[in-house]
Amino acid sequence: MGCLAVSSASMSRSPSQTPSPRHEIGPSGIAVSRLCLGGNVFGWTADAPTSFAVLDAYLSAGGNFVDTADSYFWRAPGNSGGESETIIGDWMAARGNRDEVVVATKVGSLPARKGLSAANIAAACDDSLRRLRTDRIDLYYAHRDDPDTPQEETLDAFDALVRAGKVRAIAASNFSAERLRSAVEISRRDGLPSYVALQPHYNLVERAEFETEFLPLLQAEGLSCVPYYGLAKGFLTGKYRDGAEVDSARAEGARAYLDDRGRAVLAVLDEIAAGRGVPVAAVALAWLAAQPTVVAPIASARTPEQLAELLPVLTLTLTDDEVRLLTHVSA
C-alpha cells in the first residue's frame, strides 16, 4: 500500500472516534482514507437530500475521499451530466468543508465533453470546477483512453491545469497497461506531470486482469490503485444469494457472480464477518484494501443505512490468515 501519512486536517467526528488512517496516493502527497466514497449514485438513485446525508455520515466517520465524474449520471432520465458533481459541490458549500475533502473527478466520457484533446480537457475542467464550486480538483482522471488524441497533447493539457493550480494531481481510469506505461514514459521524457494512480475494475471476484497486467506496472512505477466496483456491483455485500430478490439498478450485474465460486467466496466472507462482528461488505473491501498498491477501494451507497455497512473498512485490518483464505477461495 501507499506510505502512511496522517492528515492534519480537522475531521467532523466525535472526540471518542478512532481516526481513520491515511495513505498517500502514489507520489502525490495527497493522503486519503481507506474507503473512497463513490459519487456515481448522487443525482441518479440518490436525490440531493439523501446524498447530503450519505456524505455527512461518511465525513463524520473519518472518510475524506470522494470520487465522481462529469458524466455522472447523464443517462438518467432528465439528466444531462454533471449532476453528481453539482450535488457534491452544493454539499461542500453548505457545510464549508472543502479543505477536509479530497475530491476526485474525471474527464473524457461525457458526450458533450468527450475525449482527451487539449481543448476539451481545458473546457471540461472549468465546467467541473464550476459545478463543484471549488478552485481546484485534487485528483483529475482521464476517464478512459482516447486513441484519437496523441498522449503528448493530453499530458500537456493536464500540465497546464497543474501549473494553473486548477488540478493537484492526475490519474488514469480504464487504460490498458500498454497505454498507461507509454503515458508514464512520455511524462518522464518530457518533464510533465505523471499519472499517480490507476482506477481499474478490481475486486475479490474480478482479479485476473489487474493482478496479471497492471499490478507489476504499478509496483514498478510507484503508482496507486483506486479500484472501482469494489463490491462487484453489490454482490460482495452478501445480499445477492439464491432466492433473494433485491431492488437495485445493478441487480442483474451482481447476480452474474452467483455461481459455485461466488457462493464459496460468500461463505468465507460470512465466516470472517461473523467472527469480526462487521458486515460482509466491509470484509470484502478490507481484503481489497490489503492488496499491493491499493490505496482506497471505491464503493457507493444510496442511503446512510447502506453506507453503515461499508464504514468499518476505514479502520478494519484483516489478519494475514483471513487475507490468504479469501485470496485462495476467490482464485
Would you place residue 246 in the very low, low, confident or very high pLDDT band (cuts 50, 70, 90)? confident
Among 72, 140, 195, 229, which one carries the catalytic annotation? 72
The tens digit of pLDDT for each residue in 58-94 reads 999 999 999 999 999 999 999 999 999 999 999 999 9
What's the confidence (pLDDT) of residue 179? 98
The tens digit of pLDDT for each residue in 108-154 reads 999 999 999 999 999 999 999 999 999 999 999 999 999 999 999 99
For residue 234, pLDDT beyond 60? yes
CATH architecture of the domain with range 23-329: Alpha-Beta Barrel (3.20)
- The sign of the CA dihedral 258, 260, 265, 268 is positive
Residues 6+ apart with CB under 8 A from 304: 53, 54, 57
For residue 329, pLDDT beyond 80? yes
Would you place residue 18 in the very low, low, confident or very high pLDDT band (cuts 50, 70, 90)? low
Would you place residue 11 in the very low, low, confident or very high pLDDT band (cuts 50, 70, 90)? very low
Residue 211 to residue 253: CA distance in whole angstroms: 22
Mean pLDDT for all residues in the chain: 93
Among this protein's residues, is 72 annotated catalytic? yes
